[in-house]
Amino acid sequence: MIKFKNYYEILGVTPDSSNAEIKSAYRRLARKYHPDVNPATADLFKDITEAYTTLINPEKRRQYNILNGFFENRKTNTSSQKAEQEYKEKTTSEPNKDKNIKSQFEKKQKHSEKIFADTINDIFKEFTKKEQKKPEPQNGADITADVTVNIAEALKGTERTVNVLHTKLCPKCQGRKFINGSKCSTCDGKGEVSEHRKITVKIPAKIKNGSKLRIKGEGNPGKYGGKNGDLYLNVKIQGNSKIKYDGLNVYYEVPITPFEAVLGGEILINTLEGNIKLKIPARTNSGQKFRLSGQGVKQKNKSGDIIVAVHIEIPQSLSDDEIKLYEKLQKASSHNIRENLLND
């Protein structure tokens, strides 16, 4: 059994409403509930269209009224109703005569169906126009990605191919999300699609840890003629056994000679952050740490520290003269460095 639907109520009109009133009611409702405007109201719009197609067609409307007990008291009948009336009168009084009137009635019927089709087309044209009205240009968002280089690469410069996930306007629905009232299958109704792009980037020599490289126009594509975003690469330098990066701080393990440890003085350390002069006091021990405040990685207004841990390293190739001097040093030394080994 077909469920009764009150088409008059659905369209917000009365059984007395004229075709023009029904048409304008439908236009108004279509603007509000068409699935291209509001996808959640697709079912409601189906009912609205069903109500409209029935009530705008005089014959369908008549049958619907009879079937559901509606009466219309419209003063002006539509021309097709008149034709129908004439046809009925003729056929009842003179059956099988005047086929001309019957065909005339059918012609009128066809005519009213054409009017209906035109209205629907008009309304859809309105929507298409609305959809095709060029939206405001939107600039694409910037994309940030990380690249890691080793110390040798940071010194000499290198190249990296970065895989960037771009989000761009759906090529099928152009961001409208729906096509003819149904969800766009290409973007699954999202209006945009993701795309992996490989971008090869030159990393300049002597790059510093935490540097930001800007690659113009390689961010997300702009929409509707907007500018592309930029791609920002955060360069991270991977340390080695002697250099460790930890946020803005850099930790160095620096070898010193036995005589530098004993006599102290200024030593020169060649780092990725530049040459550092470090003053070490006389009688410096292995493992002693020195902090160079504010000389680490610089980022915006902040800068980290460099922390240098020195350790005494014995040169592996010693000249005869050096050996003789060490022997002399041995003879001159009277202090037992291990005398406190078992004491607290």
Contact 312, 286 (CB under 8 A): yes
Query: Shortest distance, CB of residue 41 to Zn ion, whole angstroms?
Result: 20
Which of these ranges, 52-60, 162-170, 280-288, 320-328, lies near Zn ion under the rule CB under 5 A? 162-170
Exactly one of 13, 173, 237, 306 binds Zn ion (CB under 5 A); which one? 173
| Binding track, positions 112-151, relative to Zn ion; x by CB under 5 A | ----------------------------------------
169 binds Zn ion (CB under 5 A): no
Least distance CB 142 / Zn ion (angstroms)? 24
Counted residue by residue, the chain has a size of 344
CB of 173 to Zn ion, least distance (A): 3
Q: Which of 258, 242, 256 is nearest to 307 (CA)?
A: 242
8 A C-beta contact, residue 205 and residue 233: no
Number of residues this chain uses to bind Zn ion (CB under 5 A)? 6
Least distance to Zn ion, CB of residue 38, Å: 17
Give the nearer residue to Zn ion in terms of CB position, either 45 or 178. 178
Q: Is 172 in the site for Zn ion (CB under 5 A)?
A: yes
Strands 231-238 and 143-150: parallel
Per-position DSSP letters for 212-263, written without gaps between them = EEEETT-SSPPBTTPPP--EEEEEEEE--SSEEEETTEEEEEEEE-HHHHHH
Q: Give the tokens for residue 269.
A: 């350390």
Q: Which two tokens stand for residue 342?
A: 């078992």
Query: Tell me, what DSSP letter sits at residue 285?
Result: P
185 binds Zn ion (CB under 5 A): no
Region of 35-43, 140-148, 151-159, 166-174 interacting with Zn ion (CB under 5 A): 166-174
Q: Quick one: tokens of 252?
A: 């160095």
The residues, any chain, with a CB within 8 Å of residue 204's CB and separated by 6 or more, are: 157
Minimum CB–partner distance for residue 20 and Zn ion (Å): 37
Query: Least separation, in Å, of the C-beta of 184 and Zn ion?
Result: 3
Nearer Cβ to Zn ion, position 221 or 296? 221
Kindly state whether residue 187 participates in binding Zn ion, applying the rule CB under 5 A.
yes
Q: Pick from 68, 144, 182, 186 the residue near Zn ion by CB under 5 A.
A: 186
DSSP β-bridge partners for residue 82: none
Collect all residues with Cβ–Cβ distance below 8 Å to 239 and sequence separation of at least 6. 151, 245, 251
In this complex, which beta carbon is closest to Zn ion, that of residue 187 or of residue 201?
187
According to DSSP, the residues that pair with 268 across neighbouring strands are 277
Q: Which is nearer to Zn ion, 173 or 280 (CB)?
A: 173
User: What are the residues binding Zn ion (CB under 5 A)?
Assistant: 170, 172-173, 184, 186-187
